[in-house]
Structure 1
């Protein structure tokens, strides 16, 4: 415990060696435990953050952490509560009495509360440059980079801080897990696999590291390796974290490649149906939409999902979420509700707001939502006209390559159904990047010129599934 040089207030050091203002050593230790739980994506982070503030109601970093937790969920109700709570904290705060790092965090939260994700990310990057061992700045910035679809920042924000960490740090594995995900999103698949496997070796419960390896296999079309990897680590990722449903979603992507639709629906009903969080609803919609594109009627499952999205759509908070809500309305056959959501976002864009989400909605979110709606109407030519011009910047409304592939597959399927020449190019691009994907070869079969070529592509798809040697085939 150290005295503040100017005010005499007691200072405490977190487990990574950073000084912070707090009147309570107990609050500081709860903060450490909260960050530990956050790095493992466990719900206990909220309990520990609450305990820190109970010990010291004025604890600056406790308020910062709690605000980040609420705002990064993309849940409208939590965002509203965070705005009110943090405004109350800030109203009675003498910011000049804070340590410079704490002031920077308060400004970053302020930017996030105002909907300015880019400024928040930049402020957090500045904290990381000066304090590379600030684990909260790193993981929060990492999530901001994910929400803004910035692959380079996902890679370099963590990569630039790594020299300040060592294998003797208990969270070094978590840093490697984040770095592995950034490497994957930036296209460094071999390096991502290497770093991700090392992260999980250091910390078998590093679910983000496991998730990074899963992404790497997905992006390479290595669905057999993905199934075996997740099967081998089932106890480490399948329960007890915020990422449970998302990890099962990755598992289902592998199953879809293998043509195991029945197993996909079994997982959906056991794990995804009835989800309430935005994250869970995103995964459910993205999975059912892939089935929808292949003509699989899941109207009953769609109805429940559409109902769950409706209360989250009252205010524009996430263009990425909006698109998945439209998927759900279209899948449920509730075209009028999809139209109303699109119309509300058109009014939002016309209103001239200055948030990051406003720009995302205008540039990517609205074209995607309109295209999904057009697909539901059977207007496939319009889908191509809307999506083809933006296909190389869809990352701008956030998410990962694997998540955004639902949009790319929508474009491809629409081009095939519309008989558009773009379909051949799109299939060729996919096969060139992921020649091990049965899905890609089945689409090659759909666009091939003659019966022989169609049959050869279909056989190639079946050969890939057989070579994967999955135990249940």
Structure 2
């Protein structure tokens, strides 16, 4: 028996396979594409290496790509048939059970099993990383925080991956609303490892949630060489850059980012970012039909069968943005049939039923100009949108859709409450004040509208002194 780089026992692997496995974990924590090659090399050395097969399966399942999941299911099934699982040590046996739960579509059980592994073996970096992603996919902010927080005391200051663990913890802190602590921990993570793109991501999430778009732009500009290339996560961080640009009213800058980076995305998580940026422009009346058309063309095979409701929402956004309402409706109809069948333990079925379908129907209603239906669909579920995953920043597209529909549909009472909520959480957000101005216009209060617009412009000038505010 040998041990991995974090001191955990490893069975069924040659010394060369373990070296590849350790390198694969390092690449995974850095979000680098080389993780696939290293994981493959580990299995080439030792085909029945349990943790190598576990890692390979997680890599296939956590992309939220249907084809990747199908391949992972076949390969892991063949692995299980070749081995005697009763001979595996407890940690490896627990990982096999966690992977199987995920293969069966039970995100929640997989997350719980990974949590048990973390309690018993807090230095299991793979259990931490995979569990962290499961918490993200299920929108569980408390577990995003506590899964990592509960393991931190087992990590030493001289651990080479301490910074990565801190980066995960910082993101969990941010999603749970601990912004001061999140910023402190995230900055420490990046100090330990300047190329920790997840730690950088935690910093920019914290600034996003506090409305500190100027700080976010300056931070990303100062570290552009650390996060913008060389990983499969750079597109998402560019998306955050685009959000900051939109907050500042700089639509041309956001579109430049879209055209140079986001428009070339191929994976589901990259298409999600592209749709999410364009949808925010769509809500403001910006016609991007050609960009939408190209994006909509990329979605059909990726949502041909149900897998992750969060992806479905962004596919529907793309279809609506491109004017392909019929395609959006066909996708919704297929998901309506999907949820009619009992699927015990399939997390996506409940996600689709409780959140995915209402949100997708609301997006189509918005595209049709049926703003009353948008409000009726979204307002009752607005506090449980997290149930189908994503971050607060990503799900804000849904909240903004609700607010815009309330404004356009004359639901001034709802719009007033929603704008008030946003301003009192983030009074430094120009977007929030511009919506206050739109509401005041609707109420015929020109003075209040002018005051709110002046406030929005002042916030942009204060955050970015050399920027002329838009909007």
For the aligned pair, the TM-score class normalised by the smaller chain equals over 0.9
Cα deviation for residue 177 of structure 1 reads 0.2
Given the alignment, which residue of 376, 401, 405 partners 1:410? 401
Preserved contact between residue 224 and residue 470 of structure 1 (Cα < 8 Å)? no
Deviations 1:318-370 (A, max 9, x none): 00000000000000000000000000000001112230000000000000000
SS at match of 2:112: helix
Given the alignment, which residue of 395, 407, 418 partners 1:426? 418
Given the alignment, which residue of 437, 440, 444 partners 1:445? 437
Q: Distance in 2 between matches of 1:160 and 1:138?
A: 10
Tell me which residue corresponds to 1:143.
133
Q: Are residues 122 and 334 of structure 1, via their aligned partners in 2, closer, same or farther at CA, if it must alter by over 3 Å?
A: same
SS at match of 1:221: coil
Tell me which residue corresponds to 1:105.
95
Deviations 1:14-43 (A, max 9, x none): 010000102401101110000001001000
Preserved contact between residue 248 and residue 430 of structure 2 (Cα < 8 Å)? yes
Deviations 1:191-234 (A, max 9, x none): 00000000000000100000000000000000000000000000
Given the alignment, which residue of 338, 343, 351 partners 1:360? 351
Q: Distance in 1 between matches of 2:463 and 2:416?
A: 26
Given the alignment, which residue of 228, 234, 239 partners 1:238? 228
Deviations 1:88-130 (A, max 9, x none): 0001110011110000000000000000000000000000000
SS at match of 1:360: helix
Q: Distance in 2 between matches of 1:99 and 1:345?
A: 40
Q: Are residues 254 and 23 of structure 1, via their aligned partners in 2, closer, same or farther at CA, if it must alter by over 3 Å?
A: closer
Q: Distance in 2 between matches of 1:412 and 1:81?
A: 41
Deviations 1:38-86 (A, max 9, x none): 0010001101000100110110000000000010000011001011110
Tell me which residue corresponds to 2:66.
76
SS at match of 1:273: helix
Given the alignment, which residue of 373, 384, 390 partners 2:381? 390
Preserved contact between residue 461 and residue 467 of structure 2 (Cα < 8 Å)? no
SS at match of 2:230: coil
Tell me which residue corresponds to 2:144.
154
Preserved contact between residue 156 and residue 182 of structure 1 (Cα < 8 Å)? yes
Given the alignment, which residue of 228, 244, 250 partners 2:218? 228
Cα deviation for residue 471 of structure 1 reads 4.6
Aligned length: 463
Q: Distance in 2 between matches of 1:460 and 1:199?
A: 35
Q: Distance in 2 between matches of 1:25 and 1:239?
A: 32
Mapping for residues 251-270 of structure 1, pairs under 5 Å: 251-270=241-260
Tell me which residue corresponds to 1:4.
none
Q: Are residues 452 and 23 of structure 1, via their aligned partners in 2, closer, same or farther at CA, if it must alter by over 3 Å?
A: closer
Tell me which residue corresponds to 2:29.
39
RMSD over equivalenced CA pairs, Å: 0.7
Task: Answer yes or no: is 1:332 the counterpart of 2:327.
Answer: no
Q: TM-score, normalised by structure 2?
A: 0.98
Preserved contact between residue 460 and residue 467 of structure 2 (Cα < 8 Å)? no
Q: Distance in 2 between matches of 1:133 and 1:362?
A: 37
After the TM superposition, which of the residue ranges 434-443 and 351-360 deviates more from structure 2?
A: 351-360
Tell me which residue corresponds to 1:5.
none
Preserved contact between residue 40 and residue 241 of structure 1 (Cα < 8 Å)? yes
Given the alignment, which residue of 290, 302, 305 partners 1:300? 290
Preserved contact between residue 274 and residue 304 of structure 1 (Cα < 8 Å)? no
Cα deviation for residue 405 of structure 1 reads 0.2
Q: Distance in 1 between matches of 2:406 and 2:130?
A: 38
After the TM superposition, which of the residue ranges 458-467 and 347-356 deviates more from structure 2?
A: 347-356
Q: Distance in 2 between matches of 1:23 and 1:239?
A: 33
Q: Distance in 2 between matches of 1:23 and 1:348?
A: 41
Given the alignment, which residue of 370, 379, 395 partners 1:379? 370
Mapping for residues 48-63 of structure 1, pairs under 5 Å: 48-63=38-53
Q: Distance in 2 between matches of 1:252 and 1:188?
A: 24
User: Which runs of at least 4 in structure 1 moved beyond 3 Å after TM superposition?
Assistant: 470-473
Q: Distance in 1 between matches of 2:205 and 2:318?
A: 24
Cα deviation for residue 166 of structure 1 reads 1.4
Deviations 1:170-202 (A, max 9, x none): 000000000000000000000000000000000
Task: Answer yes or no: is 1:464 the counterpart of 2:459.
Answer: yes
Tell me which residue corresponds to 1:165.
155
SS at match of 2:2: strand
Q: TM-score, normalised by structure 1?
A: 0.97
After the TM superposition, which of the residue ranges 441-450 and 408-417 deviates more from structure 2?
A: 441-450
Tell me which residue corresponds to 2:427.
435
Preserved contact between residue 22 and residue 28 of structure 1 (Cα < 8 Å)? no
Q: Distance in 2 between matches of 1:216 and 1:244?
A: 18
Preserved contact between residue 326 and residue 369 of structure 1 (Cα < 8 Å)? yes
